[in-house]
Structure 1
Amino acid sequence: MLPIDFNFRMPAEWENHNRTVISWPVKDSMCFPADYETVSKGYAEIIRAIAEFEPVTVIVNLSELEAIRNRFDEENIEFLPFEHNDAWFRDNGPTMIVNDEGEVAGVNWHFNAWGGKYEPWDLDDQVAPQLLKHYGMRQFNAPIVMEGGSIHVDGEGTLITTEECLLNVNRNPNWSKAQIEEILKQYLNVKKIIWLKRGLSGDETDGHVDNIACFAAPGKIMLQVCDDPNDENYAITQENLAILNNETDCLGRKLEIIPIQQPPKRIDDGQRLTLSYLNFYFVNGGIILPVFGGEAEETDALAVKLLSEFYPDRRIRTVDGMAIIREGGNVHCTTQQMASGK
């Protein structure tokens, strides 16, 4: 039996959460192990920011459990000693789904470390089942490789993703676009999938959608845009804007596009950093927004202003977006919401 057979659906991220789950960084798997303490402080800031709004569960390797626990004194932060290889729980964690009776279950996708880029990943592929078992949730095992950062939904049956990621040969080389669509419909109960072409330049996840576009509300999509024709992201974002301007959601509504200006380009160690305001994270009553400082102060302020005006009932809580970005992701990539079912 499939989730759709029990009327499970993937709720929108802005719907009420029971808690947020995040996994602690593992020094041995980091791209820049010398930055471990900087990255750890960045994770701690994100965890404390989320804990201002809702409970947080932190997955920690057993050998580090006491040391990490001693960093925090907040009462609504708990620690689970699950062994893991890496720290991007959005991508190796389960996708939470809910049904009309308020039951919360989880979809367990296959995980292969973003197309086999980082070995080993065997422990990461086992964390989702452990978490679902710990909370006594029903588990549905999906047959494809997929990361949570590659999809975003409106909670009403429409999903957005990128061809660059989901159709990449390093994920599911034997699955066609139509077959992948069918799996997403069966396991997430979506009725329409909007395919963008590419994600942001320099994104080592092969174009995760959570850096470039997200549903802001039913029928409304925020899109990070670039106005500089000399920037690689200009052609990428213009192409995606054209696609979205010609799309409707599953209910036939023409999409309203809310552009959000990208931060200035930054190069680190010869590589472009994937800076994105759309890697923010909805929490109960708020939004956790990465900001980047320095020459990005102007666009930081614009992002805060846009989100504050669009979500007047949510508190915009900013965090240092530079603390963990060298490792390849940001706030949304670290988190996975556990729906409340209510």
Structure 2
Amino acid sequence: MNQEKTPATAGFWMPAEWAIHERCWMAWPCRQEAWPTNINLETIRAAYADVAQSIAAFEPVTMVAHPQDADNAAHMLGGAAEVLPLPIDDSWLRDNGPTFLVSDAGECAGIDWQFNAWGNKYHSYSADNAVAGHILQHLQLHRFVAPLVMEGGSFHTDGEGTLLITEQCQLNPNRNPHLSRADIEAYLRNYLGAKKIIWLAGNTYDEETDGHVDNAACFTAAGTVLAMQDDNDALLQENIRRLHNATDAEGRQLRVLTLPRPPICKRDDFAPASYINFYLANGGVIMPSFGIKEDDTAHSIIAEAFPNRKITSVPANVIVAGGGGIHCITQQQPAGN
């Protein structure tokens, strides 16, 4: 690893998602095959537009769209988002878009990870692998090219050097089979500014992403973690056990809050639905709802976790049927010079 070219040696790190945003980035759906055949592209796009319009009430949104779909995106978004035409293969920008960083001087930069469609699950993905670089070039931000496969939904930070990741995803041989656990930790320290890495187990029913952490646990504040609970899922139970025994980069014992797994949205016998898969906007939380009684309980828990934010519930059944959630289709750009 070339230490002279990493974000950490240049003074950059990844801030927490509750830091002030410049804008939110999304990508317009164009790959029908990622969804069940009974959900058409127009319905999928309407679900994405609903999320974008909800976020736009709090902060600007830029929607990346394949050039042939740019007019359709602009029409369906109704002015809620700027549309940036770029070649894309799919619409999960959290995972293939840039991970934005900040420095002490207030500069903003981005990481361009390698992307292989969650372990070669979809083809092709060459355009999606190039999107991060195109976005950073468009923004005229410094681009750090990371020589490893990594998706933005596979890690979560408190902005103070503590990182949550899962063994199920990070150690999966379909990502970086040549790297050891120690190698992956070294990259995360050098590219995200991690000082303390907490390895969680994963999520049994999330095989689409191989257990991305954004379906299992996230920080709600420094020292506080929200974790998905399901007594029938040994991996989720193990996550909570490890969190209760963990300390953060500042040496604080973690406070652990739990949210129930929503008992819906099964796809091929897997259920990637999670209330934790929400987006933190400036002053707001855009959270998923599924039209079930558990929605009210989840709303109350999230409102308690974020007492100074307006909670907006957005129907997410269609998005989850594609294998992800609201957090998966969004990417925050922190405010910077």
TM-score bracket, shorter-length normalisation? over 0.9
8 Å contact 2:283–2:309 — kept in the other structure?
yes
8 Å contact 2:28–2:91 — kept in the other structure?
yes
Question: What's the counterpart of residue 64 of structure 1?
Answer: 69
Structure-1 separation of matches of 2:46 and 2:244 = 40
Question: What's the counterpart of residue 317 of structure 1?
Answer: 312
Question: What's the counterpart of residue 302 of structure 1?
Answer: 297
Length-normalised TM-score, structure 1: 0.94
1:199 matched to 2:203? The reply is: yes
Structure-1 separation of matches of 2:74 and 2:264 = 36
8 Å contact 1:200–1:211 — kept in the other structure?
no
Question: What's the counterpart of residue 275 of structure 1?
Answer: 273
**What's the CA shift string for 1:240-266, capped at 9, x where partnerless?**
111111110111101110011121244
User: Aligned to 1:123, what secondary structure does the other structure show?
Assistant: helix
Structure-1 separation of matches of 2:207 and 2:174 = 15
1:264 matched to 2:268? The reply is: no
1:212 matched to 2:216? The reply is: yes
Question: What's the counterpart of residue 285 of structure 1?
Answer: 283
8 Å contact 1:109–1:147 — kept in the other structure?
yes
Shift of 1:60: 0.5
8 Å contact 1:9–1:98 — kept in the other structure?
yes
Structure-2 separation of matches of 1:275 and 1:73 = 28
Question: What's the counterpart of residue 243 of structure 1?
Answer: 242
1:1-342 equivalences under 5 Å are 1-32=5-36, 34-74=39-79, 77-227=81-231, 231=232, 233=233, 235-268=234-267, 270-293=268-291, 296-297=292-293, 299-341=294-336
Shift of 1:15: 0.6
Structure-1 separation of matches of 2:245 and 2:218 = 16
User: Aligned to 1:5, what secondary structure does the other structure show?
Assistant: coil
Shift of 1:273: 2.5
Shift of 1:94: 0.7
Structure-2 separation of matches of 1:199 and 1:215 = 17
Shift of 1:30: 2.8
Shift of 1:73: 2.8
8 Å contact 1:286–1:316 — kept in the other structure?
yes
8 Å contact 1:202–1:271 — kept in the other structure?
no
Structure-1 separation of matches of 2:30 and 2:309 = 32
Amino acid at match of 1:48: Q
What is the count of residue pairs matched by the alignment? 332
8 Å contact 1:289–1:319 — kept in the other structure?
yes
CA RMSD of aligned residues (A): 1.3
Amino acid at match of 2:262: P
The answer for unaligned runs of 5 or more in structure 2 is none
Structure-1 separation of matches of 2:35 and 2:123 = 12
Length-normalised TM-score, structure 2: 0.95
Structure-1 separation of matches of 2:136 and 2:42 = 30
Structure-2 separation of matches of 1:27 and 1:107 = 25
8 Å contact 2:32–2:40 — kept in the other structure?
no
Structure-2 separation of matches of 1:238 and 1:202 = 15
Shift of 1:72: 2.8
Amino acid at match of 2:324: G
Amino acid at match of 1:8: F
8 Å contact 1:83–1:123 — kept in the other structure?
yes
Structure-2 separation of matches of 1:260 and 1:16 = 25
8 Å contact 2:161–2:195 — kept in the other structure?
yes
User: Aligned to 2:8, what secondary structure does the other structure show?
Assistant: helix
Structure-2 separation of matches of 1:279 and 1:224 = 10
Shift of 1:114: 0.1
Q: Structure 1 residues 312, 83: CA separation in 2 closer, same or farther (over 3 Å shift)?
A: same
8 Å contact 2:262–2:274 — kept in the other structure?
yes
8 Å contact 2:63–2:81 — kept in the other structure?
yes
User: Aligned to 1:313, what secondary structure does the other structure show?
Assistant: coil
8 Å contact 2:7–2:13 — kept in the other structure?
yes
The answer for unaligned runs of 5 or more in structure 1 is none
8 Å contact 2:265–2:321 — kept in the other structure?
no
Structure-1 separation of matches of 2:91 and 2:305 = 31
